[in-house]
Chains A and B, each alone.
Chain A
Amino acid sequence: MSGLLDIKNLEVGFGAVTAIKGISLSLYRGTRMGIVGESGSGKSTLGLATLGLLPDFARCSGEVLFDGTALHWDNDMAMAGVRGSRIGFVHQDPMGAFSPVHTIGTHLTRAYLSAHPGASKADATKAAVDRLDEVEITDAKSRLRHYPHEYSGGMRQRVMIAAALIGNPELLIADEPTTALDVTTQAAVLRVMNDVIEARGMGLILITHDLGVVAEICSEVAVMYHGELIQHVPVDQIHEKAHPYTEALLKARPRPGMRGERLPTIAELLPEGWSDV
């Protein structure tokens, strides 16, 4: 059986660097997968490669099938039909992800009209208000006229989720959606994201370096290290069959009761010679 998203032997390089070294991965409908790894492990690149949004100088090989059909990254019009309306995307930077000279309403209605060509402006506005309600932005109708700089970071991140949902996609790729937010706001944004995904039965790829978030939201976890997929297991089994690197990652998390101690680092936790991969 083929999944909602099948990544087959994907390889991505930038110049002399190979960011992703032949990854194969399947995500089934309704599955929520967390992709974890250190900075530079290639997890964000994986998300962008799927959407065909890597910079022009990136070299991609391999294949990504969405719902059984191969994605043609170099065909911008074909990809535009997939982005937004089949795969939604949430960017990690709520400050930079909105054009400062356009209202929130413009961002949302443009996203809606790209996914529903031929729909009326009124439909788009209605959808925008509904999605803002869904992510718990109060007084949505009048807030459409506001500019991004009039929103707080947490609100902007919720608006970004609303914009990603407005095309009614089957899969959401969220690239570190809460990294730029403070802890309380993080929790609120994650809860909203979790709720809307559950309500819609959408698939989720959550790219993060926060294992706690993965444990809360995801059903599966994929661990990446230096462009390779090291482990891919259901989230409740991560402790049982942990790969040495995954184990090291888990041990590197701060825990209550560790006050005053130094956090273990990955290098000292890994078995001898392991990082030479």
Chain B
Amino acid sequence: MTSLILSRLVSSFIALLGAALVAFVALRLAPGDAARLTLGAFATDEAVAALRSEMGLDQSILTQFYVYIRDFFTGDWGRSYALGEPVRSLLGQRFPATLELGLYAFCMAFVSALVLALWGAHRKGPISDGVPKALGVLALGVPQFWFGLVLLIVGFEMTGLFPGPAGRLPATVTPPAGPTGMYTVDALLHGDLKTFATALHHLFLPALALGLLPFGFLYRLLRANLEDVSGAPFALVARAHGQSRLRVMVATLLPNAIIPMLTASGLIFGQLLAGSVLVERVYNWPGAGMLVTQGVLQQDYAVVQVFILLSAVIYIVTNLIVDIVAASIDPRLAKGGA
């Protein structure tokens, strides 16, 4: 197990460097001059040249890459030239909002996929198995922003059960000051249950909208794998030992079927963070998605680069955790090493 973790750490570091390189090169290759875009078409050539040298764009590409990597790890993330603010404070506010939304969406998707797949595999009725299966197919085909709008119309406009697209908290509530920037977590840390409940209330619809697709994917994956392993001889033998159908399903079949779902979870979680921009737009969620989309359009290097690296770090860490969990479930994975 230790050798697995070590080899994974090394490959994670290499993957991170790779991600940094790709982010760096892709942005440099994009047409247009960042300094010119920042200052506008009427700026004098001298002003543009001055900004280019201030941004470091006049240095060699290698030096730029070195500075970029060094600054990322030392926490100097530069300044957004479009917004005139340090990237650190920009992302410091926005990224936790995206992370929190992604976490809730993912947890809802994972737990409901797990429960429904187990239930359907255990009781193969038209309701217990048929309805979730249809839902799983639907989830893969429904566009997120459309589903987000439908949820808003039903949950807010028609029934008034949930708040409208008003961001993370109503304007009247002061956001909890806290270490993580995720309001539900910070509110709990301060013991402020009322703010926690309000934040959760605001999170529910966007998380549902964002979580539908991963739910469909994870559900179908686990359900199919459960079906596969339920035909294995060990399922029969476990029952011959006197274990009930349900117990065999949960204690024997699930650990054998869940590993592909865990692996997929790692990938999906990363995707949720990077791909939540449409849902953020629908719900006026002040997350990183909008900020970064703007950044790309305006060639705001600093913001985009840091976001890509930050996503890569989270992606890699998540997958590292997934690998370790999977290896602790299946001993053959721990042995296999790389």
A53 and B236 contacting across the interface, CB-CB below 8 Å: yes
B329 and A101 contacting across the interface, CB-CB below 8 Å: yes
Complex Cα–Cα for A97 and B237 (A): 6
A80 and B329 contacting across the interface, CB-CB below 8 Å: no
B124, B232, B241, B256: most-surrounded residue (chain A CB, <10 A):
B241
In the assembled complex, which residues on chain A have CB atoms less than 8 Å from the CB atom of B241?
A: 83-84, 89, 107, 110-111, 114-115, 163-164, 167
On whether A111 and B233 interact (CB within 8 A), knowing A100-B330, A100-B332, A101-B255, the answer reads no
In the assembled complex, which residues on chain A have CB atoms less than 8 Å from the CB atom of B332?
A: 100, 147, 149
On whether A51 and B240 interact (CB within 8 A), knowing A97-B234, A101-B331, the answer reads yes
A80 and B233 contacting across the interface, CB-CB below 8 Å: no
Q: B242 contacts the other chain (Cβ, under 8 Å)?
A: yes
In the assembled complex, which residues on chain B have CB atoms less than 8 Å from the CB atom of A99?
A: 232, 234, 238, 252, 255-256
In the assembled complex, which residues on chain B have CB atoms less than 8 Å from the CB atom of A82?
A: 242
B255 and A80 contacting across the interface, CB-CB below 8 Å: no
In the assembled complex, which residues on chain A have CB atoms less than 8 Å from the CB atom of B245?
A: 76
A85 and B242 contacting across the interface, CB-CB below 8 Å: yes
Q: B244 contacts the other chain (Cβ, under 8 Å)?
A: yes
Q: Least Cβ distance of B247 to chain A in Å?
A: 8
A115 and B331 contacting across the interface, CB-CB below 8 Å: no
A98 in complex: contacting residue of B234, B242, B331, CB < 8 Å: B234
Closest residue of A by beta carbon distance from B236: A53
Complex Cα–Cα for A206 and B252 (A): 27
In the assembled complex, which residues on chain A have CB atoms less than 8 Å from the CB atom of B238?
A: 99, 110
A110 and B232 contacting across the interface, CB-CB below 8 Å: no
Q: A102 contacts the other chain (Cβ, under 8 Å)?
A: yes
Complex Cα–Cα for A100 and B255 (A): 10
Q: A16 contacts the other chain (Cβ, under 8 Å)?
A: no
A77 in complex: contacting residue of B244, B251, B329, CB < 8 Å: B244
Contact with A along B222-263 (1 / 0, CB 8 A): 000000000011101111111111010001100110000000
Give residues 162-208 of B contacting A (CB, 8 Å). Answer: none
B330 in complex: contacting residue of A96, A101, A107, A163, CB < 8 Å: A101
A147 and B242 contacting across the interface, CB-CB below 8 Å: no
In the assembled complex, which residues on chain A have CB atoms less than 8 Å from the CB atom of B243?
A: 80, 84, 110-111, 114
Complex Cα–Cα for A147 and B332 (A): 9
Give residues 49-68 of A contacting B (CB, 8 Å). Answer: 51, 53, 56
Q: Least Cβ distance of A113 to chain B in Å?
A: 9
Closest residue of B by beta carbon distance from A92: B233
In the assembled complex, which residues on chain A have CB atoms less than 8 Å from the CB atom of B242?
A: 80-85, 111, 114-115, 167
Contact with B along A85-121 (1 / 0, CB 8 A): 1001101010011111110000100110011000000
Q: Least Cβ distance of A146 to chain B in Å?
A: 9
B237 and A89 contacting across the interface, CB-CB below 8 Å: yes
B233 and A96 contacting across the interface, CB-CB below 8 Å: yes
B252, B329, B331: most-surrounded residue (chain A CB, <10 A):
B331
Closest residue of A by beta carbon distance from B245: A76
Kindly state the interface size class of chain A when it binds its partner.
20 to 34
In the assembled complex, which residues on chain B have CB atoms less than 8 Å from the CB atom of A96?
A: 232-234
In the assembled complex, which residues on chain A have CB atoms less than 8 Å from the CB atom of B232?
A: 96, 99
B329 and A83 contacting across the interface, CB-CB below 8 Å: no
In the assembled complex, which residues on chain B have CB atoms less than 8 Å from the CB atom of A160?
A: 237
Complex Cα–Cα for A115 and B241 (A): 8
Complex Cα–Cα for A24 and B338 (A): 57
In the assembled complex, which residues on chain A have CB atoms less than 8 Å from the CB atom of B233?
A: 91, 93, 96-97
Give residues 172-199 of A contacting B (CB, 8 Å). Answer: none
In the assembled complex, which residues on chain B have CB atoms less than 8 Å from the CB atom of A114?
A: 241-243, 247
In the assembled complex, which residues on chain A have CB atoms less than 8 Å from the CB atom of B330?
A: 100-101
Closest residue of A by beta carbon distance from B335: A149
Closest residue of A by beta carbon distance from B231: A55
Q: Least Cβ distance of A122 to chain B in Å?
A: 19
In the assembled complex, which residues on chain B have CB atoms less than 8 Å from the CB atom of A53?
A: 236, 239-240
Give residues 287-338 of B contacting A (CB, 8 Å). Answer: 329-332
In the assembled complex, which residues on chain B have CB atoms less than 8 Å from the CB atom of A91?
A: 233, 236-237, 240
B252 and A80 contacting across the interface, CB-CB below 8 Å: no
Complex Cα–Cα for A84 and B233 (A): 16
Complex Cα–Cα for A93 and B236 (A): 11
On whether A102 and B252 interact (CB within 8 A), knowing A76-B244, A76-B245, A91-B233, the answer reads yes
Complex Cα–Cα for A142 and B268 (A): 40
Complex Cα–Cα for A96 and B237 (A): 9
Complex Cα–Cα for A110 and B241 (A): 8
B244 in complex: contacting residue of A80, A100, A101, CB < 8 Å: A80
Q: Least Cβ distance of A157 to chain B in Å?
A: 12
In the assembled complex, which residues on chain B have CB atoms less than 8 Å from the CB atom of A77?
A: 244
Complex Cα–Cα for A146 and B331 (A): 10
Complex Cα–Cα for A277 and B19 (A): 72
The 6 closest A-B pairs by CB, nearest first: A84-B242, A114-B242, A89-B240, A111-B241, A96-B233, A84-B241
Q: List 25 A-B contacts (CB under 8 A).
A: A53-B236, A76-B244, A77-B244, A81-B242, A83-B239, A89-B240, A89-B241, A91-B236, A91-B237, A91-B240, A97-B236, A98-B237, A99-B232, A101-B255, A101-B329, A101-B330, A101-B331, A110-B238, A110-B243, A110-B251, A114-B247, A115-B241, A147-B331, A149-B331, A160-B237
Chain B residues close to A by CB (< 8 Å): 124, 232-234, 236-245, 247, 251-252, 255-256, 329-332
New A-B pairs, 7, CB < 8 Å, besides A77-B244, A96-B232, A167-B241? A53-B236, A80-B243, A84-B241, A91-B236, A97-B236, A110-B238, A110-B243
